């Protein structure tokens, strides 16, 4: 029986990062993976979707070349080539993870891993043991009883990335990050897209102002949006799909070629031996303490399988913290109130901290500032004037409670707010930090200035 200091089950952005950090700390480390290194994020999520979205963005630029004083003739999309490029990017990244495993002397064990008592893992009949076993098995597309996925007419995100032909009409059920990203992509490619959202606003976890702006931008681009609506039945017996949608006005039937179910995720915790070991689970999540230890000594869990936000960067941070704690380092529990969320549709959405509604519900006396990109020189020059930056501060102490952005490139801008909040900066300190001109990031400073009645360019 092979013996390790640490075995990581799953090689997504939580698992492989955990394994590398463990190796850096001197642990003899192995990682178990049943598919491709990099997990869903790298192979079927974060990375390949961004490749698809980049193709859509370039196509959009070509369609609007005249707006930039350019004349482009005889251009078109090649849907198959767009998909192939996306797969090529994912394959290249997966090979990069293989290199990192070799570089860090981590043993990669290919196969299906199942936990056993006594700090052991059975991988397709071969048993391995370790002093510490870290579960990082991630999640998959969740299925609703009223929306069973057949992989052809009713699909999840995996199939949405590799469709053999572009659908003429698509219904996207759910308007979280996955739903709106694919809605933008297919709409840009020329598909007639309808979004069906159960809650009153699209991207419902975001600040209400951001949700309303995204809905306006999407509608302007021809995406149909149905909020406070529910798909109660799908009929796939014909050539396409007939979806029955229940709204406040009653029921209506919408026809499409394909329905994309983007209603959240389901954790991969079945058949991995949790019951055999006695690891506690509650509502589809493995219960852990602040350092990701389960109720059974020697077993840990990170990423989507635990109660924190189901985001790649959260899983990575959790894994690093977990192994540093095992190594005896002094670590501080992760602050889940300062986790940035990013959505890569167009316009992009990024946020951190409390929404305006949440801040009021918590009883804060707040200062709110907002700066539209229509007043930004850089945004105007780039032809990307949709959106804004919104900031929320505690009026009494100046604490930066929340930051919400929608517009071009905001997923790269949100880190300023994350770092500022981590360092406990105040509104006046942000305002007096000189921001470069002309940049999109100036909008952060201007939004703060608006909160304190000092805005210049608005």
Catalytic residue IDs: 437
Grouping H, G, I as helix, E, B as strand and the rest as coil, residue 116 is: strand
In angstroms, the CA 397 to CA 134 distance is 41
Task: Tokens for 64, please give them.
Answer: 């609007």
- 3 state SS of 51: helix
User: Per the omega criterion (within 30 degrees of 0), is the bond before 387 cis?
Assistant: no
- Annotated binding site for FAD: which residue ranges? 50, 113, 304
- Residue recorded with tokens 């689970």: 281
| CB atoms inside a 10 Å sphere around CB 212 | 14
| Strands 126-135 and 299-301, sheet pairing | parallel
- Beta pairing partners, 234: 243
Peptide bond into 347 cis (omega under 30): yes
Distances (CA, A) of 178 to 105, 332, 393: 35, 31, 30
Select from 92, 87, 156, 115 the least CA-distant residue to 10: 115
Joined together, the tokens standing for residue 435 give 């921001």
Rounded to 5 degrees, φ, ψ at 382 are: -85, -5
Spatial contact of 306 and 292, defined as CB atoms under 8 Å apart = yes
CA distance 114 to 220: 49
Helices (H), 327-440: 356-361, 377-382, 410-413, 415-422, 427-432
Total Cβ atoms within 10 A of residue 180: 27
């Amino acid at each position: 029986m092979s013996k390790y200091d640490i075995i990581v089950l799953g090689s997504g952005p939580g698992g492989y990062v955990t394994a590398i950090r463990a190796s850096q700390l001197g642990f003899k480390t192995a990682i178990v993976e049943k598919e491709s290194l990099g997990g869903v994020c790298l192979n079927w999520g974060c990375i390949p979707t961004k490749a698809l979205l980049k193709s859509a963005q370039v196509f959009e630029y070509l369609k609007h070349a005249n707006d930039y004083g350019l004349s482009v003739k005889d251009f078109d999309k090649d849907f198959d080539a767009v998909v192939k490029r996306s797969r090529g990017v994912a394959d290249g990244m997966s090979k990069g993870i293989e290199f990192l495993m070799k570089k860090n002397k981590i043993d990669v064990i290919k196969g299906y891993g199942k936990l056993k008592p006594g700090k052991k893992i059975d991988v397709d009949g071969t048993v391995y043991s370790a002093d510490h076993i870290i579960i990082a098995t991630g999640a998959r597309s969740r299925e609703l009883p009223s929306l069973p996925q057949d992989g052809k007419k009713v699909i999840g995100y995996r199939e949405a990335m590799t469709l053999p032909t572009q659908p003429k009409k698509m219904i996207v059920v759910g308007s979280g990050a996955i739903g709106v990203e694919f809605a933008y992509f297919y709409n840009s490619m020329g598909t007639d897209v309808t979004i069906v959202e159960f809650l009153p606003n699209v991207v419902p976890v975001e600040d209400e102002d951001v949700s309303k702006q995204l809905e306006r931008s999407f509608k302007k681009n021809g995406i149909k949006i149905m909020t406070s609506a529910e798909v109660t039945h799908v009929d796939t017996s014909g050539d396409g799909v007939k979806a029955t949608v229940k709204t406040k006005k009653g029921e209506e039937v919408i026809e499409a070629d394909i329905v994309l179910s983007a209603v959240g995720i389901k954790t991969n915790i079945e058949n991995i031996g949790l019951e055999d070991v006695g690891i506690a689970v509650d509502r589809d999540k493995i219960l852990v303490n602040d350092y990701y230890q389960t109720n059974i000594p020697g077993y840990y869990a990170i990423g989507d399988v635990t109660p924190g936000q189901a985001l790649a960067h959260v899983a990575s941070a959790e894994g690093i913290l977990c192994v540093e704690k095992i190594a005896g380092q002094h670590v501080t529990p992760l602050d889940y109130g300062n986790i940035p969320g990013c959505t890569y549709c167009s316009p992009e959405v990024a946020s951190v901290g409390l929404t305006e509604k949440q801040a009021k519900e918590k009883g804060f006396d707040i200062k709110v500032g907002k700066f539209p990109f229509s007043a930004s020189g850089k945004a105007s020059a780039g032809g990307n004037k949709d959106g804004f930056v919104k900031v929320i501060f505690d009026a009494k102490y100046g604490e930066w409670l929340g930051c919400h952005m929608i517009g071009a490139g905001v997923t790269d801008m949100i880190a300023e707010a994350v770092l500022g909040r981590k360092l406990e900066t105040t509104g006046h300190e942000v305002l007096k930090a000189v921001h470069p001109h002309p940049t999109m990031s100036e909008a952060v400073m201007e939004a703060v200035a608006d909160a304190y009645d000092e805005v210049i360019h608005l």
